[in-house]
Amino acid sequence: MEKQPLKIVVVAGGTGGHLFPAMAVVESLERLSNGQCSTDFIGTATRIESTIVPRAGYRFHTVPATGLQKKFSMSTLSFAFNMVRSVFRARALLRSIKPDIVLCAGAYMSYPVGLAASLLQIPLFLMESNVYPGKAIIQLAARASKIFVAFDETTKYFHPRAQNKAETVGNPVRGSFSRLPDKQQARAALGLAPVKSTILCFGGSLGANSINQVVEHSLRPLTEAGIQVIWQTGNFYMPSPESIPSDGVAVFPFIHDMAQAYAAADLVICRAGATSIAELCLTGTPAILVPYPHAANNHQEINAKVMEHRRAASVVKDNQLDDKLIFAVISLLADRDTLLAMGENARRMANEHAADDIARSILEFAASRHETESRAKER
């Protein structure tokens, strides 16, 4: 009997931190299966996945799930109704697609689809990129066949009966972050001097207002100290032209080639989201992490503390940026031994084969299950 292509449904989105690791795994599945993999994505109609996934050529379906707000509001009243509706919608989608496996990468839409998969007895795999797992992943853990985590510390947050399902594999990263271009060439390509100390500042694809404001006010003191700045503002922050020195600063709303930006930088200032931390570790780049103070479950601060504990980054709180950023940058850049140690410690936390490791585990599970089912039919 001819082997059928693996059918997989991936639930990922809300933010790039959930979506891009999942897409990296799908790319590995396609390559390692020699194209014998059919993938459908499920997400929401209003978040990043609704544009990125179809643009990448994958089939995309939506569920009406919404996140539960921390404060009571009118949206709280509709939460339960939308969740029940999402489970029924997910169940209908899964019955139509008939996947071999469902992979949930976090965010609130994972719960209704993961629950529907469990009710239909479809094997469920989970991915968690942050140290502290999201509510959906925690709730689904007992129903999963396997849980892929980026940090050893994550396992302790699961119920004891689910902890043996967790496997630390690191956080999958798309692109060429493990093969950075030459530092001096990267700086020259960005219009900067090849041999000057350089920092990279960003707050994610949308930017971070508090980081942007402090960076804008710090540009002249930094450049006067001989430090060059690569600054990704996000599309919604417009710095004053008068605040940008004519030399030593490269400003972009969005940086498409982040590998080049990392290569050019001696130090990064950024949020502590899972994707940023994975990139820092894979590139071995020292960092000053500024956790987003309103992140769900305070997960960015927990991520940052793990990096700081392992001496892979320094942490500055969001409300202390004004007072501490310039001093922290100048002090670290003057201490080359500490910078080198930070980079080495970060690199030890990386697994550049994380996407392949997850893909192989899924393929091995699917092959074993297929063989078991084939034997059962022959009896």
pLDDT digits (tens, 9 = 90+) for 44-73: 888 888 888 999 999 999 888 665 445 545
1 has pLDDT over 50: no
Burial of 145 (0-12, 13-18, 19+ CB in 10 A): middle
The interaxial angle of helices 110-119 and 74-97, nearest 10 deg, is 40
DSSP H or E stretch at residue 200: strand 198-201
16 has pLDDT over 90: no
Domain boundaries, the chain: 6-173+352-378, 183-348
Q: Is the fold of 6-173+352-378 the same as that of 183-348?
A: yes
Of 70-79, 104-113, 136-145, least confident by mean pLDDT is 70-79
Q: Best-predicted range by mean pLDDT among 143-147, 201-205, 206-210?
A: 143-147
Alpha-carbon gap, residue 193 to 153, rounded angstroms: 41
Task: Return the ∠ at Cα 332 (arms to 230 and 180), rounded to 5°.
Answer: 45
Average pLDDT over residues 100-127: 94
Q: What percent of the chain has pLDDT over 70?
A: 93
What pLDDT was estimated at residue 317? 96
CATH architecture, domain defined by 6-173+352-378: 3-Layer(aba) Sandwich (3.40)
pTM recorded for the entire structure: 0.87
Q: What does the buried/exposed string (b/e) look like for 53-83 if buried means 16 or more CB atoms within 10 Å of the residue's CB?
A: beeeebebbbbbbbbeeeeeeeeeeebeebb
With the C-alpha atoms ordered 340, 345, 349, 351, is the resulting torsion angle positive or negative?
positive
DSSP H or E stretch at residue 103: strand 101-104
Of 59-73, 197-211, 224-238, least confident by mean pLDDT is 59-73
What pLDDT was estimated at residue 74? 55
- Look up the CATH number of domain 183-348: 3.40.50.2000
> Could you count the other beta carbons within 10 Å of the beta carbon of residue 112?
25
Higher pLDDT, 322 or 107: 322
Q: Which two tokens stand for residue 346?
A: 């970060």
What pLDDT was estimated at residue 183? 97
Q: CB of 125 within 8 A of CB of 102? A: yes
